[in-house]
Amino acid sequence: MLTKRENFIECITGGSPDRFVNQYEALAMIAPSPLSDKSHLASDGYLIDAWGCYQGKVAGEPGFFPFHDLEHRVITDICDWRSQVKVPGDPDIPEFWEPFAKQAEEVDRTEQLVCSAVMPGIFERCHHLGEITETLMNFYEEPEAMHELIDEIVAWELRLADAHLKYLKPEVLFHHDDWGTQISTFMSPDMFEEFFLEPYKTVYGYWKDHGVKYVIHHSDSFGETLVPYMIDMGVDVWQGVISSTNDIPKLVDQYGGQISFMGGVESQLIDKPDWTPEEVAAEVERALTSVDRTRYFIPSLTSGLNNSGYPGVYQAVTDEIAKLSPRFFG
């Protein structure tokens, strides 16, 4: 029987996996957030991140969302972004990284791959600093300023990469950046290429040039039209592939060998307060049966971490994948 690490590599390289890679099992996920001020979180329900963005809880929703009212928004005028944005300092703070380095050292690398998780991504950072509608308008109306802002974010990402590489020595990068809704990308493929292809080639190329073997990009959205760009960027696995609007079997058949696809189990349908084991079982079976591929496909919840928004859902999905796996590998 292959180790979790071996099985993951066999799956995404077109080898001979002996079972489904079960969600994030092969990845020892480590998610530091340097230079973030979380001092307000416990009492007031919000935090201020390294860039000065306010993020808070929304009732009934798992996770945090940026505050975009004028009082809390960082960028109110994209042409004046340099005076409004306070770029974070050096993320290489030894005392911060020490516990994460210890966590990485304790991973059995014969069983799992040490995985650095970085979030948010370049596009999300743009609209966290501003506001998503205005940010999308700025790509049309102020492209020069947007290119300059993106260049600054990329420079920060490379400094952050250096710290991860120094302290964690990761083998995998797991990088968040949602590029669309359930039905469409946020921008046309041509505009996406203009603003994000080269920046991501720079970032992902840097990680790989410094020893990282695999890049996993999270975007739980429609994204079929961006897959060629993902491949060009150096993405090895697109995580978060929703099956309602992305044709996963077609993507596997067309692009397998260049990129793999992770997701298919719809978080929006089953990761909810009143979930039931029966709903989870039905959704996992639907996902595995509809894709019906054993290479270049990793079944998982479409949400972008090794947990769920509501207790028990992630483990229930894991159990169902393990139960059904012999049917496809028998």
Domain ranges of the chain: 4-32+89-329
* CA distances to 42, 86, 119, 128 from 136, in Å: 33, 21, 20, 12
Q: What's the average model confidence in pLDDT over 72-91?
A: 95
Q: What's the average model confidence in pLDDT over 43-67?
A: 80
DSSP H helical ranges for the chain? 4-12, 41-44, 81-84, 94-105, 122-129, 132-141, 143-167, 189-192, 198-209, 227-233, 248-255, 267-270, 277-291, 313-329
Architecture of the domain spanning 4-32+89-329? Alpha-Beta Barrel (3.20)
**What gap in Å lies between CA 194 and CA 203, rounded to an integer?**
16
Q: What's the average model confidence in pLDDT over 52-57?
A: 86
**What gap in Å lies between CA 267 and CA 303, rounded to an integer?**
6
pLDDT in tens, 177-205: 999 999 999 999 999 999 999 999 999 99
Among residues 252, 217, 253, 211, which one has the least CA distance to residue 234?
Answer: 217
- Compute the Cα dihedral for 215, 221, 224, 229 and give only its sign: negative
pTM: 0.96
pLDDT in tens, 126-144: 999 999 999 999 999 999 9
Block residue for tokens 């039209």 = 225
Q: Which two tokens stand for residue 265?
A: 């189990």
